[in-house]
Amino acid sequence: MNYQETVAWLYRQLPMYQRQGKTAFRKDLGNIRALLRALDHPEKKFRSLHVGGSNGKGSIAHMLAAVLQDSGYKTGIYSSPHLRDFRERVKINGAWMPESFVCGFVKDMKEAIREIKPSFFEITVAMAFEYFAREKVDVAVVEVGLGGRLDSTNVITPLLSVISNISLEHQDILGTDIEQIAFEKAGIIKKNTPVVIGRHHPGSDAVFRKKANEMEAALYFSEDAFRSRVTRHTIDCLELDIVNTGSGRSASYTLPGGALYQQENLKAVLQSIELIRAQFPAIHEENIQRGIACFKELTRFEGRWQILRSSAPVILADAAHNADALKHIFSQLKTRTFRQVHCVMGTVTGKDLDAFFESLDRDALYYFARPAVPRGLDADLLKIRAEKAGLRARGFNDAVEAYDAALHAAAAEDLIFVGGSIFLLSDLFSSIQETK
């Protein structure tokens, strides 16, 4: 089979949470452990960092990888889901895993796959770990897929665990309140392994402290360790002064994209670097500053505060998919002077729709489309729910049609926001060209 046939075979054979939802989620680690045994335990052949949380884990993982890469370390990244190509999930120094490796891996493992019957995510994690082991990476930054305790990535023994923050998400699987969700996320805390928490929350702090105490793991809240001050802010650039509250040292950092939420993520990254620096002595301050400034370019990271067009109108894409993330984005957009905000949006089953609609800007115009996955919610249903919430909304057959309608309606001084689901972004990214 060629590459396209191989990926199509994987989709047909294996249950995939992103497409099917709860029925594809496995409630134990038996399958991934069986796959890794068949591969002679590649997860034990490279150093790793483990990054989980509700929002921001992708940005944190890619910033950490960029700093390590700029410092001269051969750095792997495992993340999910993908936007354009399956191979985006597995990268070394920003380069996607080769098509030939995907085809060869599936060919070699086909019988084991048929016997074990893993999920799509389980086979992808095993593939990533085998690739990192074969390529002898110096370190891999591994992003949790869903939750933590029962996530397929939770078979590594990392140098460090990072949990960005906790918000209500995937409540049909992880739990109905912050404490239950935090319990699942805390599952990545390992024995005698330091853990960084990005944000305090009254519902999760006690859960993390209890788990860290049980595992004899040193616990760090990066929100306490660093203070930030914005020195320059545009729609596509953020400059910060960061002060280490312990040492009093300060430094300036430039982040690509103008997302204010990246302040929180950057603090978690800086705290993490402090904790791993002894194992990676080639990291210097200039590597940190360069890696942060270029992290999207170095790691080929897309879909987070990504400016697709810088003017007439501005077009912004962000994979924000839950109420907490969307509130941050709309709050920031309110500080800009756009005449009108047009939102091309969609979402999938398993979301708290009441919270979703409460998080949206009441003054924006909405163009809803169903993401092209089985879990995608019907655009007319979203339109009806939006109108009940007092929003102005239209429904469209697909993401491209909704986007074209917003583009036609928007004036030069407006902004078009594309978000609500990474699958909606995926639908559009093959059609939208960046026109900075």
Q: Give the pLDDT band of residue 187 (cuts 50, 70, 90).
A: very high
Q: How many Å apart are CA 50 and CA 58, to the nearest integer?
A: 11
Q: How far is CA 204 from CA 7, 42, 161, 262, 419, in A?
A: 38, 33, 16, 21, 27
SS (H, E, C) the chain: CCHHHHHHHHHHHCCCHHHHCHHHCCCCCHHHHHHHHHCCCHHHCCCEEEEECCCCHHHHHHHHHHHHHHCCCCEEEECCCCCCCHHHHEEECCEECCHHHHHHHHHHHHHHHHHHCCCHHHHHHHHHHHHHHHCCCCEEEEECCCCCCCCCCCCCCCCEEEECCCCCCCHHHHCCCHHHHHHHHHHHCCCCCCEEECCCCCCCHHHHHHHHHHCCCCEEEHHHHEEEEEEEEECCEEEEEEEECCCCCEEEEEEECCCCCHHHHHHHHHHHHHHHCCCCCCCCHHHHHHHHHCHHHHHCCCCCCEEEEECCCEEEECCCCCHHHHHHHHHHHCCCCCCCEEEEECCECCCCHHHHHHCCCCCCEEEEECCCCCCECCHHHHHHHHHHCCCEEEEECCHHHHHHHHHHHCCCCCEEEEECCHHHHHHHHCCCCCCC
Q: Does residue 21 carry a pLDDT above 60?
A: no
Give domain limits for the chain: 3-299, 306-429
Residue 54's pLDDT is what? Answer: 87
Evaluate if residue 414 carries a pLDDT over 70. Answer: yes
pLDDT above 70 covers a percentage of the chain that reads 94
Q: What is the pLDDT of residue 346?
A: 95
* Whole-number average pLDDT of the chain: 92
Q: Which CATH architecture has domain 306-429?
A: Alpha-Beta Complex (3.90)
pLDDT of 19 > 60? The answer is: no
Q: Please tell me the predicted confidence (pLDDT) of residue 173.
A: 59
Q: What is the mean pLDDT of residues 236-247?
A: 95
Least confident residue range of 14-23, 61-70, 297-306: 14-23
Residue with tokens 């960061």: 242
From 19, 11, 8, select the one nearest 349 (Cα to Cα).
19
The whole-number pLDDT of residue 162 equals 98
pLDDT at 183 exceeding the cut of 50 = yes
pLDDT of residue 170: 53
Average pLDDT over residues 102-118: 94
pLDDT(422) > 50: yes
Q: pLDDT band at residue 312, thresholds of 50, 70 and 90?
A: very high
The residue type found at 53 is G
Q: Lowest-pLDDT range, 30-44, 131-145, 303-317? A: 303-317
Distance between terminal CA atoms of the chain?
38
Q: 320 falls in which pLDDT band (50, 70, 90)? A: confident
> What tens digit of pLDDT does each residue of 268-290 get?
999 999 999 999 999 999 999 99
Q: pLDDT band at 169, cuts 50/70/90?
A: low
Residue 436 has pLDDT above 60, yes or no: no
CATH (one of 3.30.360.10, 3.40.1190.10, 3.40.5.90, 3.40.50.720) for 3-299: 3.40.1190.10
The pLDDT of residue 20: 47
Cβ atoms of 368 and 395 closer than 8 Å: yes
Q: What is the pLDDT of residue 34?
A: 97
Q: Encode pLDDT of 321-369 as tens digits.
A: 888 889 989 999 988 889 999 999 999 887 789 999 999 999 999 999 9
Strand partners of residue 139: 75
What pLDDT score does 174 carry? 66
